[in-house]
Chains A and B, each alone.
Chain A
Amino acid sequence: MSAPPVDIGRVDRVLARHPAGVQGELINVLHDLQAELRYLPRQALERAASHLGVPEAHLFGVATFYEGFHLEPRGEHICTVCMGTACHVRGAPRLVEQAERDLGIRAGQTTPDMRLTLETVNCVGACALGPLVIFDGKYHGNMTPDRLGRLIGKLAKKGSE
């Protein structure tokens, strides 16, 4: 599946909020671009590099260094399963299996309709709530495969309406 086209106007509006030629703005620019576009497409990074006066290679190095930056398109919704030790022993792998089965994708992938991205994370520090799933920023503690299936199912229903 090819990436959706990038609205360069949106990229430029984000860049206009940051002074040109200031290398120290690099991380801020990446954060803002990702907030706007949900990921960092190549065209956006190229424009950011020329706006900041930074080599593209350098920008790419920074963008790939941090886990928080995504260079592949992400879904409208983000489902993050915590795989930290506490969540792991309380059944997180079964949650991932359930989600992978329901969605027909592997962890780290996005559904072909770009509705949802399934991710794993190594620990979010909310071990007392484990096993934990973060769905669009909302923490769902004591998760079970059943409940996770319903959570994902709700989304599918919303989509078909």
Chain B
Amino acid sequence: MERRFKINDIDVKARAGEHLLDVARRYGFEIPSLCHHEALPPIGACRICLVEVAWGGRRELCTSCNFEVIEGMQVTTDTPAVQHHRAMNLELLLARAPGSARLRELAAQYGVRRTRFGPPATSPLPNCILCELCVRACEQLGNHALTMVGRGDKKRIGLAFNSPSEQCTGCASCASVCPTECIPVKDTAAGRTIWGQTHPLVLCKVCGAPVMTERQRAKAIAKKGLPEEYYDFCESCKQSTASKRFASIVW
């Protein structure tokens, strides 16, 4: 089923059930967001993707990331109300994550250069805005190591029982999707350290570059059924070996 509606007075089409933010971006409209990832279910946590939506005689501010498109609605992405509330939300987020360059830059675009609010009293993970993107990524990958712990002013991201997790493979997807880059991850000779655990790394048998963690490899082998050697080489070495073999056959 197709849905037709307008964004900033321009006619657009979408499939029923699509989310507004995805459609708007496909058409090239700029809507900022922090907690959205196209591969993960949206939850409307950061509230930066606010837009004004009018349909059936009502008009309201909605988070576009988790708003399903409606036939005939009129969307405005940049009204004074949208600007005002985005600025307010950015100022609140800035209090939690003053160290995030991306957030500071975005806030500055809305005229927010400092925040009137104090930092959270307790924050085991500085600069975390609790958008749950890391939790959703971990869940989607089937690891389920991360969760939101507690609630209210004590809410935070953590592992089950606040202790080392067998589910965590050290893939660091949580760190790579984090909009404020607040999850510390460190690769050394001993392995990759993340969430208080150090995961031994598999090194490429040709060039010695880290390929993945041993747990990631074990999980991939169990899931994909590919031979163990498949994971012994880094992508570029795998490619060059394959192309050499191909060349030897062709020439």
Pairing of A with B: yes
Contacts of A60 in B (CB 8 A): 147, 149, 160-161
Give bound CA distance, A28 to B218, whole Å: 35
When C-beta atoms are compared, the residue in chain A nearest to B146 turns out to be A57
Interface residues in chain B, defined as those with a beta carbon under 8 Å from any beta carbon in chain A: 138-139, 144-151, 159-161, 165, 167
Partner of B145, one of A45, A57, A59: A57
Contacts of A56 in B (CB 8 A): 144, 160-161, 165, 167
Number of A residues near B (Cβ < 8 Å) is 11
Give bound CA distance, A8 to B165, whole Å: 21
* Smallest CB-CB A-B distances: 7 pairs: A55-B144, A61-B147, A57-B147, A56-B160, A60-B160, A57-B160, A64-B150
Q: Is A42 an interface residue (CB 8 A)?
A: yes
Q: Is A58 an interface residue (CB 8 A)?
A: yes
When C-beta atoms are compared, the residue in chain A nearest to B168 turns out to be A57
Question: Are B149's CB and A64's CB within 8 A?
Answer: yes
Q: Measured between C-beta atoms, what is the minimum distance from B205 to chain A in Å?
A: 34
Segment 113-160 of A: residues with Cβ below 8 Å from B: none
Give bound CA distance, A64 to B151, whole Å: 8
Give bound CA distance, A65 to B149, whole Å: 7
Question: Are B147's CB and A42's CB within 8 A?
Answer: no
Give bound CA distance, A2 to B65, whole Å: 47
Give bound CA distance, A57 to B159, whole Å: 6
When C-beta atoms are compared, the residue in chain B nearest to A55 turns out to be B144
Question: Are B145's CB and A65's CB within 8 A?
Answer: no
Contacts of B150 in A (CB 8 A): 64-65
Question: Are B144's CB and A58's CB within 8 A?
Answer: yes
